[in-house]
């Protein structure tokens, strides 16, 4: 199964794709989409086009996005929310259900601590995906989101199997 993680952003939008086969996880690709344009509508359209191309190229089976946290800058939070809307739209258009995870949940799943810093996330992503060289901190975060989603999907699968056995 291929899992894509996306770390939303209007300036730098990280993305990462992993392949999961039971307990094995393998890095497929990662990068940073950098939307162009001056007007908000142009930037959102550019983000949509860039992510649509990535999704078509790597054909994930599942996708997850980091939830937006609200900070002191209300205008910044609203802009990030608009980018997140586009980020959720692209995989939904491809027929994928989009998982959503709070930043602390992603950190806890990958690092083991909900308040890990960027360096710890990068280190653990590299440990869990040997040979992986994240394109940026945003791409490392996206790979962490993919790892988190893969773990949740596997747990849900095991739970469903146990319930079916009844």
User: What pLDDT sits at residue 85?
Assistant: 93
User: What pLDDT sits at residue 20?
Assistant: 94
Q: Taking the model in full, what pTM does it have?
A: 0.90
Query: Whole domain around residue 37: which residue ranges?
Result: 2-165
138 is catalytic: yes
For position 143, which CATH number holds?
A: 3.30.420.10
User: What pLDDT sits at residue 7?
Assistant: 94
Give residues with Cβ within 8 angstroms of 109, minimum separation 6. 101, 144, 147, 148, 151, 152
66 is catalytic: yes
| Distance from C-alpha of 108 to C-alpha of 103, rounded to nearest angstrom | 9
pLDDT tens, per residue, the chain with 166 residues? 999 999 999 899 999 999 999 889 999 999 999 999 999 999 999 999 999 999 999 999 999 999 876 667 778 788 888 899 999 999 999 999 999 999 999 999 999 888 888 899 999 999 999 999 999 999 999 999 999 999 999 876 655 665 666 6
Q: How many domains are contained in the chain?
A: 1
CB 58 within 8 A of CB 29: yes
User: What pLDDT sits at residue 87?
Assistant: 95
User: What pLDDT sits at residue 16?
Assistant: 97
Length of the chain as a residue count: 166
- 7 annotated among ligand-binding-site residues: yes
Which token pair is 96? Answer: 């994928």
Phi-psi region of 122 (alpha: psi -120 to 50; beta: other; left: phi over 0): alpha
**Three state DSSP letters for 14-38:** EEEEEEEECCEEEEEEEEEECCCCC
- 53 annotated among ligand-binding-site residues: no
- 61 annotated among ligand-binding-site residues: no
49 is catalytic: no
User: What pLDDT sits at residue 116?
Assistant: 87
Which token pair is 44? Answer: 């959102």
Of 61, 66, 73, 141, which residue is the catalytic one?
A: 66
């Amino acid at each position: 199964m291929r899992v894509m993680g996306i770390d939303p952003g209007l300036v730098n939008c990280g993305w990462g794709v992993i392949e999961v086969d039971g307990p094995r996880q393998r890095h497929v690709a990662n990068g940073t989409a950098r939307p162009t344009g001056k007007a908000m509508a142009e930037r959102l359209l550019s983000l949509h086009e860039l992510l649509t191309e990535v999704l078509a190229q790597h054909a994930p089976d599942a996708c997850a996005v980091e939830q937006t946290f609200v900070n002191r800058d209300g205008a910044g939070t609203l802009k990030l929310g608009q980018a997140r809307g586009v980020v959720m739209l692209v995989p939904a258009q491809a027929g994928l259900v989009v998982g959503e995870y709070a930043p602390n949940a992603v950190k806890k799943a990958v690092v083991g601590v909900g308040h890990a810093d960027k360096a710890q996330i990068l280190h653990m992503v590299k440990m869990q995906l040997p040979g992986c060289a994240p394109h940026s901190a945003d791409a490392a975060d996206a790979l962490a989101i993919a790892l988190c989603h893969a773990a949740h999907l596997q747990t849900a699968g095991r739970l469903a199997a146990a319930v079916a056995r009844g």
